[in-house]
Amino acid sequence: MDTNDLAGNVLDPNCPSRVVFQRIGDKWASLVIQVLGDGPVRFSELRKMVNVVTPKVLTQTLRALERDGLITRTVYAQVPPRVEYGLTDLGESLLQPLTLLRRWAESHVPTILEARDAYDDAQDEALLGSPN
Amino acid sequence: MDTNDLAGNVLDPNCPSRVVFQRIGDKWASLVIQVLGDGPVRFSELRKMVNVVTPKVLTQTLRALERDGLITRTVYAQVPPRVEYGLTDLGESLLQPLTLLRRWAESHVPTILEARDAYDDAQDEALLGSPN
DNA sequence: CCGTATCCTGCTTGATACTG
DNA sequence: CAGTATCAAGCAGGATACGG
């Protein structure tokens, strides 16, 4: 039944849909996904590209994404070891909404920053006006 | 200059673009925005719709969104007090990418959940296979 | 090279109680 | 009605060091 209980879904913080939003908001997950959009990357490469994240945190991020079926982890039986991460089809399909969001972000962030300044200034003035 | 340093931007966790991603991932912010998409709502209504969030947390969320210029806060000088929250133009413009993301979420969440089960099962078996 | 183990800190979330 | 104040708890993120 395709009732419009979509709204009801979104409002429920326990709704599984929220796992996606949480991934997006995750500090590294969305970055990793977008990096992998250009093709498979090794662990150490990923570390460098994603601006020196500690191995523990990167591993956590990667495992979570792998568990969600968004990325693949391929181990090559070599010495020294070599592990490559890449997007699954599911992961690739996320690329588009992600890119759209990124474009929105990049074009509107200046406005947001201005709004913040204005808001903070207004707060300061209000405090000066009634210090007591 | 519209070089393709977009990639460079995304990889920088300090890039202001990330504030948007953080709002999306915020537990309540994206919910509030989508609720307000249907028109202005009062504080108490918001509390009920968004599944009993504590007033403190809701206020925090609302203030942050207001500071970012995404929502407006209108106080009606009445007794009892009445405060309505609504989307700004900026906030409305966020609705579209947000909806797209939500649609992706709702259509792919089952797959993600399956992937998780499969992953967890594989982990369990691996542990059973080599308990030592 | 690719991680894991341990410890630690700050922020987010929440419960509870109170005010204009 | 629409918040604020205070306190407490959990957990994501990180520094550092070590292992396969």
In a domain, B119, yes or no: no
- What global pTM score does this model have? 0.88
pLDDT-based confidence at residue B84 (cuts at 50, 70, 90):
very high
pLDDT at A3 over 50: no
Instruction: In whole angstroms, give the CA distance from residue A120 to residue A114.
Output: 10
d(CA B78, CA B5): 52
The residue that leads in pLDDT, A15 or B81, is: B81
Summarised one tens digit per residue, pLDDT across range A41-68 is: 999 999 988 778 999 999 999 999 999 9
Lowest mean pLDDT among A37-51, A62-76, B76-90: A37-51
Does a structural domain hold residue B129? no
Using one digit for the tens of pLDDT, what is the confidence trace for B8-58? 466 676 677 888 988 988 989 999 999 999 999 999 999 988 778 999 999
Domain-embedded: residue B54 = yes
Mutate to test the interface with B, among A2, A32, A107, A109 (most CBs of B within 10 A): A109
The domain that holds B87 is classified in CATH as: 1.10.10.10
Please state, rounded to an integer, the average pLDDT across all residues of chain B: 86
- Per the structure, the count of domains in chain B is 1
In a domain, A26, yes or no: yes
Contacts of B119 in chain A (CB under 8 A): 66-67, 69
Q: Is residue B101 part of a domain?
A: no
b/e for B56-94, b at 16 or more Cβ within 10 A? eebeebbebbbbbbbbeeeeeeeeeeebbbebbeebebb
Residue B36's H or E segment, with its range, is helix B29-36
pLDDT reading at A72 higher than 80: yes
Under an 8 A CB cutoff, do A113 and B20 touch?
no
Is residue A107, in this structure, part of any structural domain at all? no
